[in-house]
Amino acid sequence: MAARRLFTWGGIGALGVGTYYLYNAGGSPTIAEKKFEEDAARASAKFKSELPGRGKEAKKYGELTKEQIEQNYNQAVDSAKATANKVDAKLDAYRQDATRKFEEARKETGKELNSAVDKFDKTVTEKAGQSKSWLGSWFGSK
pLDDT of residue 50: 66
pLDDT of residue 51: 64
Cα 68 to Cα 20: distance, rounded to the nearest angstrom: 49
How do the domains of the chain map onto residue ranges? 7-46, 67-135
pTM reported for the whole predicted model: 0.36
Residues 6 or more apart whose Cβ sits within 8 Å of residue 48: 54
Please write down the HEC assignment for all residues of 41-107: HHHHHHHHHHCCCCCHHHHHHHHHHHHHHHHHHHHHHHHHHHHHHHHHHHHHHHHHHHHHHHHHHHH
17 three-class SS: helix
pLDDT of residue 103: 92
- Taking CA atoms, 53 is separated from 61, 66, 128, in Å, by 7, 14, 102
pLDDT of residue 104: 92
pLDDT of residue 59: 67
Blockwise average pLDDT, block size 10, the chain, 142 residues: 80 83 82 84 78 62 77 90 92 92 90 87 81 61 53
